[in-house]
């Protein structure tokens, strides 16, 4: 568990991300509505709920993959200025995605280039931020393969030769090699068996703590939320129905729906 007594900010700190009234419709169908919260430097926020709750729609709006119908999402740039993400140019948003942000997909194939080597997958991110020295790129890629527990003699193997768990660890290395400040994760343990999930979660928890990352993770698995997050938001029918420190919400949920989610895990 990540520092159960975590205090996400000091009195004079500023949020890294400020979300105000975010709403998204698909025609007449509601995706999410009136979502507001702050994310603080070094904080891990879990967004949980059943399929169709709106959590993935919200994640896609936050990560600029899907424009909201209404509301604002502001991000604190490295110069300290707070910028509305949807007022940035498309080029500026792409630069953020290559440098300050990471996005870990549920399916590693969506976040990797499956036809190039493991080393090239990591190295491409470095080249995107201006690295050009082949020896340095390969050395950094080798170091990151070690950090995500992939044997370095596999550096020239393509991801299609890896197991599902190895592919997910490679996707994480690809995302973290540029030292982003904010990482979005969409069901990162989905589809993996229990033993592989446990190894992946242990590695993710260590890297998040070591690097001081801010993370927004979408998951239907409350065990994942408990292990990785400081704070949790429970969504249902496109709305946030409960939020608070992870242990408080999971140990003493107030809302009937949250109670149902927790009890279903306990009875499983």
Residue by residue, DSSP assigns 30-78 as: EEEEEEEEEE-TT-EEEEE-STTSSHHHHHHHHTTSS--SEEEEEEE-T
Beta bridge partners, 83, equal 75
How many angstroms separate the CA atoms of 64 and 76, rounded? 15
Predicted local distance difference test score (pLDDT) of residue 5: 45
Per-residue DSSP letter, 114: T
| Other CB atoms within 10 Å distance of the CB of residue 222 | 21
Predicted local distance difference test score (pLDDT) of residue 265: 64
Note the pTM of the prediction, 2 decimals: 0.92
How many Å separate Cα 181 from the centre of its chain? Answer: 11
- Please, what are the averages of pLDDT over each run of 10 residues along the chain (268 residues)? 48 84 96 97 96 96 97 96 95 90 95 96 88 91 96 97 95 94 94 87 92 95 93 97 96 94 68
Query: Which phi and psi angles does 75 have, rounded to 5°?
Result: -130, 140
Predicted local distance difference test score (pLDDT) of residue 11: 44
């Amino acid at each position: 568990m990540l520092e159960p007594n975590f205090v996400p900010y000091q009195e004079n700190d500023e949020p890294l991300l400020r979300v105000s009234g975010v709403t998204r419709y698909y025609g007449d169908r509601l995706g999410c509505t009136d979502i507001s919260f702050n994310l603080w430097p070094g904080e891990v926020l879990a967004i949980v709920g059943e399929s169709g709750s709106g959590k993935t729609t919200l994640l896609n709006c936050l990560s600029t993959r899907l424009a909201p119908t209404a509301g604002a999402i502001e991000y604190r740039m490295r110069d300290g200025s707070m910028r509305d993400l949807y007022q940035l140019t498309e080029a500026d948003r792409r630069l953020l995605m290559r440098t300050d942000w990471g996005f870990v997909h549920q399916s590693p194939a969506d976040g990797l280039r499956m036809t190039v080597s493991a080393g090239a997958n990591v190295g491409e991110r470095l080249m995107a931020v201006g690295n050009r020295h082949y020896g340095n790129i390969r050395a950094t890629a080798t170091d990151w393969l070690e950090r995500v527990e992939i044997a370095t003699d596999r550096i020239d193997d393509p991801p299609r030769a890896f197991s599902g768990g190895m592919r997910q660890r490679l996707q994480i290395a690809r995302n973290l090699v540029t030292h982003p400040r904010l990482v979005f994760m969409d069901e990162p343990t989905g589809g993996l068996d229990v033993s592989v999930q446990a190894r992946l979660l242990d590695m993710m928890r260590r890297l998040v703590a070591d690097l001081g990352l801010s993370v927004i993770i979408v998951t239907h698995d409350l065990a994942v939320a408990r292990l990785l997050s400081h704070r949790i938001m429970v969504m249902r029918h496109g709305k946030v129905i409960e939020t608070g420190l992870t242990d408080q919400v999971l140990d003493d949920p107030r809302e009937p729906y949250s109670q149902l989610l927790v009890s279903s895990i306990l009875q499983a």
